[in-house]
Amino acid sequence: MCGIVGYIGKKQAAPILLDGLSKLEYRGYDSAGMAVYDGKNIQIQKAAGRLKVLDEQTHGGSTMPGTIGIGHTRWATHGAPSDNNAHPHYNQDETIAVVHNGIIENYLKLRKKLIAKGYSFRSETDTEVVAMLLGYYYKGDPLEAIVKVMHRVEGSYALGIIFADHPDVVYSVRKDSPLIVGQSEDGSLIASDVPAVLKYTRDVYFIQNEEIAVLSEDKITFYNIDGEEIEKEPKRIEWDINAAEKGGYAHFMLKEMNEQPKTVSDTLNPRIKDGQIVIDELGMSDEEIRALRKIHIAACGSAYHAGITGKYVFEGLARIPVEVDLASEFRYRDPIIEENTLVIIISQSGETADSLAALREAKQRGALTLGIVNVVGSSIAREADRVMYTLAGPEIAVATTKAYTAQLIALYLLAMKFAGVRGRLGNDAYASMIKDLKAIPAQIQMLLANKEDIQRFANRYLAARDIFFIGRGIDHAISLEGSLKLKEISYIHSEAYAAGELKHGTISLIEEGTLVTAVVTQEDLYKKAISNIVEVRTRGAFVMAVTNEDNTEIEKTADYVIYIPKTNRYFTNSLAIVPLQLFSYYVSVGKGLDVDKPRNLAKSVTVE
């Protein structure tokens, strides 16, 4: 949601902070700022707009002398994106500076109290309350003041703090917002995410809730909320910095789409041994799997769409009833969780606030919880009873592609595992599905090779006002994802409908030339889908169909057809999504938009 960084060491801090922020810009990009202690005072520079505005303003950080500082890239929640609301924020007498990722829920109450005591605020943010409160409690011991503030504020936070009185220490603390710290030869660093520090160190400490990290040039000390020192072990980051760089591609999204053959293999291969699905991390005995009475899936955005596919696959293969909820609804809808229920939380970042809250709700209600998570060591990964990692590597583009396709694979594996144990899959069917699973990476590669045709087609729709996606059953799940992909990066209004539902109202929106994308991968529904295509074409729609290679009959009805290779009926989403991703990407590129950082969005939504 926002990105924070901090540095204390031998080198000039500001260029290091800017470099770190550039790796975190995916988390928020409406304003940015830095605070650096210059030997006398804490200087703050901040600017609305992309990080490059701040970069230019400070000549790459060179105009800000000092070897200790904190930085921030913002996704506005409280107060519009503006210079004033950008972080860092000072306390009253400008001797303390704070950067924050999260939301202070009781900030209005605290702000009122502080105003009554004579404090005057310079911004509309919740964060400024933290800075003012720190000033209020600070009597010479920063740790003591931080602990007092932690007891007063409610909500979520990862904070980076510097005190003019202690110009050789960066303080950092978190609750429900991600934070890591690391030590390099030249100094110590804090950041919201690993890519920001990877250039300097591979050994990072994951800060847990209500832990405090105190960083000096050559040492990091950890404390709990009672101010008692605690021990922590660093974790070695195995992936390379190149994984978080564009590597010659025009955009992260293009790179990440192209990585899908590999990320699908990486998620799949370690879990297929001698033709059998082995998911050690599931930690469920066959008896427990057989006893399962229900699965709930809760997630947001694309992860939710993966969950809808999961419902069809679990129910179809393993005959276990599945309910899929948006995490933001699940957490407040008083869900009925009975005995022998598994709750699956799907999340790329592992930090999505609503998904994390849904997980906690499920645990509190006694369910066994499983996180399908991409970011190692993230909050959902740590708090879920079990975690199954999607091994997609760092995903930077706001529009998810490779994490989503890896989530589908994780769900197929689970569904097949459950189906096998529950006696729902004969040996032949099982073996043939394993074969189909293994073929997916090469099939995705084939579909990616078709990018030029799709680009040409996409260029015809740069001025489109509305685009619809229709599909039945599992194809509806893929339509939802195709539509989300398109709208988030092209800003074209788009909706996905279960194909049979269109005539209950939405068909009135179809005009001459409206593009309708029909996903038709379920053989038993071909005829029904074709009727729906005819319905919209009769009203003037231009129909692009995504269908199986054997369904050439569709050419009689659809205007433009994209074929996907043959696969098991439950796995078609993994293939059908590829042309839809490419279509969205090329519409966005054709419109000259910022593909990787679409307006108003952020990669990781750590606020409710």
Could you tell me the smallest distance in angstroms from the CB atom of residue 350 to ligand M6R? 7
Which pair of structure tokens corresponds to residue 30?
Answer: 């409406």
CA distance 312 to 478: 12
Instruction: Indicate the residue among 85 and 400 with the shorter CB distance to ligand M6R.
Output: 400
Q: Return the structure tokens found at 97.
A: 């500076």
- C-beta separation of 206 from 235 below 8 A: yes
Place of tokens 């569904």: 415
Determine the residue type at 473.
Answer: G
Beta strands in 192-243 (DSSP E): 203-206, 211-216, 219-223, 229-230, 235-236
Residue nearest to ligand M6R (CB): 301
The neighbour count for residue 582, using CB atoms within 10 Å, is: 26
Q: Among residues 67 and 347, whose Cβ is nearest to ligand M6R?
A: 347
Which residues fall within 8 angstroms of residue 566, CB to CB, at 6 or more apart?
Answer: 548, 549, 550
> Do the Cβ atoms of 43 and 32 come closer than 8 Å?
no
Cβ–Cβ < 8 Å for 213, 190:
yes
Nearer to ligand M6R by Cβ, of 507 and 595: the residue is 595
**How far, in Å, CA of 190 to CA of 180, rounded?**
6
Q: Spot the catalytic one: 255, 417, 485, 603.
A: 603
Shortest distance in whole angstroms from residue 373 CB to ligand M6R: 8
Amino acid letter for position 237: I
Smaller CB distance to ligand M6R: residue 130 or 326?
Answer: 326
Using CA atoms, how far residue 342 sits from 268, 311, 324, in Å, is 22, 13, 12
Q: Rounded to whole angstroms, how far apart are CA atoms 221 and 236?
A: 18
Minimum distance of ligand M6R from residue 79's CB (angstroms)? 22
Round to whole Å and give the CA distance between 453 and 440.
21
Comparison of 211 and 354: residue with beta carbon closer to ligand M6R: 354
What's the chain's length in residues? 608
3-state SS assignment for residue 68: strand
Q: Which two tokens stand for residue 593?
A: 């938009």
Closest residue by Cα to residue 100 from 2, 180, 188: 2
Q: Is 603 a catalytic residue?
A: yes
- The tokens describing 64, both together, are 């800000």
Q: Which of 292, 398 has the CB closer to ligand M6R?
A: 398
User: 132 vs 399, which CB is nearer to ligand M6R?
Assistant: 399
55 or 256: whose CB is closer to ligand M6R? 256
Cβ atoms of residues 43 and 22 within 8 Å: no
**Which residues in this chain contact ligand M6R in the complex, by CB under 6 A?**
300-303, 347-349, 352, 355, 398-400, 484, 488, 604-605
For 405, the token pair is 């396709």
Minimum CB–partner distance for residue 400 and ligand M6R (Å):
4
Nearer to ligand M6R, 300 or 410 (CB): 300
Write down the catalytic residue from 2, 175, 402, 417.
Answer: 2
Rounded to 5 degrees, φ, ψ at 61 are 95, -10
Q: Which helix (H) or strand (E) holds 296?
A: strand 294-299
Q: Is the dihedral of CA 37, 14, 101, 228 positive or negative?
A: negative
Minimum gap (Å) between residue 4 Cβ and ligand M6R: 18
- Among this protein's residues, is 300 annotated catalytic? no
- Tell me whether strands 229-230 and 515-520 are parallel, antiparallel or unpaired: unpaired
The first and second tokens of residue 309, run together, are 């596919």
Neighbouring-strand partners of residue 71: 5, 34
Catalytic residue set? 2, 603
